[in-house]
Structure 1
Amino acid sequence: MLVAAEASGDALGASLAKALRARLGDQVTFVGVGGAKMAEQGVQSPFDIAQLSILGIWEGLKAYPTVKARLDDTVALAAREKPDVAILIDSWGFTIRLAKALRKLDPELALVKYVAPQVWAHSAKRAGVLAKAVDLLLSIQPMDKAYFDAVGLRNVFVGNSALAKRFDAADAGRLRSPIGVAAGDPILLVLPGSRPSEIERVLPAFEDAVKRLKADRPELAIVVPAAYTVAEAVRARVAGWPFRAHVIEDEGLKDDAFVAADVALACSGTVTTELALAGVPMVVGYRTGAITYAIMRRLMKPKWVTLFNIAANKSVAPELLQDACEGEGLAREIGRLLDDPALRRSQATEQSVALDKMGRGMPDPSEAAADALLAFLKTRGISNS
């Protein structure tokens, strides 16, 4: 059983399912919860995971009845299908509750958490909570190990799948021609997030910034890669912009957009690592609820939210968060990059150096995760041999 509650987890689940299928063939059957990518690997979700893509205390309170109902649906699925192992991917709030419910349902069920809560960044207490809830942790950050060793939770560092993304097959020209962007015209990527709350809170500030940039640079091409979880909302919002913008949903064209872009305006998240891998200098913006942000700032230990900034221990990519995430400031930072090729090259180089510190170049994390999972299952007497 594979359970992912949002787009990034769906990608992880799909890659893991593919790796397991390569090892086990028809000896493995998948059930669970996920999105379009996991569905391609045979995981038929009983509901749309966009209902679970929530961030923020107030948003969480409003969505609680829906989340509780989806939690019950997931537990019912496990009761019906009786999996040998349940792999709960990221999404701490949902998956920790699910782990406890599944343990109550079947105390013998092997429970695996894939992606640790960022205890090194905020609450170390979560390490102990997770140790009581699951049997194995597959972690994607090397700094996780000490925290989970300390509480006796078996854990394996498998690497960050975002660092394994390749752009070898991407083609900048393949993007420019269909959308009518001349070879010399600059391209700005606008990536407003994958959660409905991010589209609501972040995209308006990004829109204001883009309006300001377009007013001074009419030749600037705007490309908006949209996560499938929020594609409809993004299309509706962008349709009202007073200038042309190209919304892209196709995964192949998104890769083309990444290698074609001069600069990106990105919502904080996994996409910032992918942009860095593609060599795109960026400005990172984020907004959440005021209460949520106040609590996060009190709990967060690092000075930054972007992983490669944390790895570099400095502000490689500018971060404009909460009240600072507004049109004028975002446009000013993006404009500096657009107007200064040397600055773009310098930032892209520093981003690349930080990626090396994060572990770029490791074997495929999905392959490592599959091997670690099968080794663990053998110790539980669950094996294909």
Structure 2
Amino acid sequence: MSRAAKRPLTVMLVAAEASGDDRGAGLARALKARLGQDVRFVGVGGEQMAAEGVESPFDIADISILGLAEGLLAYPRIVRRADETAALALREKPDVAVLIDSWGFTLRVAQRLRRQAPGLPLIKYVGPQVWATRPGRARTLAAAVDHLLSIHAFDAPHFEAHGLPVTFVGNSALTVDFSKARPARLRRRIGAAPNDPILIVLPGSRPGEIERMLPVFEDAVRRLKETHPRLHVVVPAAPTVAETVKARVAGWSHRAHVIEGDEGKLDAMKAATVAMACSGTVTTELALAGVPMVIGYRLGPVTAWIVRKVLLRTRWVTLFNIAARAFVAPELIQGDCTGPNVAREVALRLDDKALRDRQVAAQYAALDKMGRGGPDPSEAAAEAVLKILAARAPG
């Protein structure tokens, strides 16, 4: 009797932050395109995965944690949510579990599933960046899961050395489709004339990032508006932090337009003259859109000291800077990440089109090194998941 005659393939997808929610939704769509009614989904995710049929038992903003100190404070909650996720798997009996990014949370889920459902295939989608920091995580991951779907072509040797099979599927941020973006639509929406400069502000998708980065960006915006009165400011808000962002931006001394939803975000990226962005997946998306940017990041002081003194193995934190092995976009980290510094770097780019053009060209060259133009990662991930299952099937 075929699987379809018995029940649909049940796939568990687990994501704990906005970028993982996006990847999980893409994978779900790709699997549905291949299997139709013969696949169902369970797991943990955000709004995008919910739209594809993943009913999350809790809000992932609850487990979107960044930093060692924050992680320690949130540890009981993370453990409780990991227990709930494992219990969901035991109830729903999935055929495979795909654990997406979010190292701390998904590792705990994997360890529980390994103990409680030892026959369940466990696939990690996006590995920890062991080539940049904490190389010991490669061995830890190899003991916890059966396969890694990697988004970087240079990941494989680090994990295969510990016996973990790796399939390179590519980075979904490199395949964002801007073909339907309408910069003019964004300009009409915010009342910007065709030649008015637009600054797009992206403060992150985790509550801790909003807490640390939005005040810096607010100070930078205030300074820029004083020297560039025609500047329009747009703040796309990730679903995980949208209410917090709207409440905080409403109190800014100068008007900024908070944008929700993918359509508005893509319109804003294509309309933007310059961006100030929290380090993360969004920097790759901005580079793909052709936006010169200034990147900022702040961790808690204890976490930052440990990362810099003990863990970090690379000079850069932004992926396309790592690929270029140069500061293609400026990175203002920790003490350097201040309102005056961010405003100064953004102003340089607002005032110098030649500088903007050079930076965009260098960003594009770095994206090419990262695999821009390759196969669709969601399709590649779906194919890999089905191949892994087929290889494990009896006979």
Structure-2-length-normalised TM-score? 0.96
The answer for the alignment partner of 2:5 in structure 1 is none
How many residue pairs are counted as aligned between the two chains?
A: 383
Counterpart Cα distance in 2 of 1:130 and 1:67:
18
Counterpart Cα distance in 2 of 1:176 and 1:336:
23
1:296 equivalent to 2:316? Answer no
State the 1:69 CA deviation: 1.5
Percent identical: 64
The answer for the alignment partner of 2:333 in structure 1 is 321
The answer for the alignment partner of 2:216 in structure 1 is 205
The answer for the alignment partner of 2:7 in structure 1 is none
The answer for the alignment partner of 1:337 in structure 2 is 349
Give matches, 1:60-139, under 5 Å: 60-139=71-150
Counterpart Cα distance in 2 of 1:132 and 1:41:
31
Residue among 29, 42, 58 paired with 2:69? 58
The answer for the alignment partner of 1:34 in structure 2 is 45
Residue among 201, 226, 229 paired with 1:215? 226
Task: Report Cα offsets for 1:174-204 as digits up to 9, x if no partner.
Answer: 1001211111110000100000001101110
Name the aligned partner's letter for residue 352 of structure 2: D
State the 1:289 CA deviation: 0.4
Give matches, 1:332-371, under 5 Å: 332-371=344-383
State the 1:250 CA deviation: 2.0
Q: Is the 8 A contact 2:31 2:382 kept in 1?
A: yes
User: Unpaired segments of 5 or more residues in structure 1?
Assistant: none
Deviates more, 1:127-136 or 1:374-383: 374-383
1:14 equivalent to 2:33? Answer no
Structure-1-length-normalised TM-score? 0.98
Counterpart Cα distance in 2 of 1:82 and 1:336:
56
RMSD of equivalent CA atoms:
1.0
1:188 equivalent to 2:199? Answer yes
Give matches, 1:115-194, under 5 Å: 115-194=126-205
Residue among 279, 299, 305 paired with 1:268? 279
State the 1:382 CA deviation: 7.4
Runs (4+) off by over 3 Å? none
Residue among 256, 261, 268 paired with 2:267? 256
User: Unpaired segments of 5 or more residues in structure 2?
Assistant: 1-11
Q: Is the 8 A contact 2:79 2:108 kept in 1?
A: no
The answer for the alignment partner of 1:25 in structure 2 is 36
Counterpart Cα distance in 2 of 1:374 and 1:178:
43
Counterpart Cα distance in 2 of 1:82 and 1:5:
21
Task: Report Cα offsets for 1:101-155 as digits up to 9, x if no partner.
Answer: 0011111111000000111111221111111111111000111111112111111
Counterpart Cα distance in 1 of 2:163 and 2:81:
31
State the 1:233 CA deviation: 0.6
Name the aligned partner's letter for residue 389 of structure 2: L
Counterpart Cα distance in 2 of 1:190 and 1:210:
9
The answer for the alignment partner of 1:5 in structure 2 is 16
Q: Is the 8 A contact 1:84 1:382 kept in 2?
A: no
Name the aligned partner's letter for residue 162 of structure 1: A
The answer for the alignment partner of 1:46 in structure 2 is 57
Name the aligned partner's letter for residue 232 of structure 1: E
The answer for the alignment partner of 1:305 in structure 2 is 317
Counterpart Cα distance in 2 of 1:219 and 1:76:
54
State the 1:68 CA deviation: 1.5
Task: Report Cα offsets for 1:321-367 as digits up to 9, x if no partner.
Answer: 00111011111000000000000000000000000000111110000
Q: Is the 8 A contact 1:190 1:265 kept in 2?
A: yes
Counterpart Cα distance in 1 of 2:105 and 2:267:
34
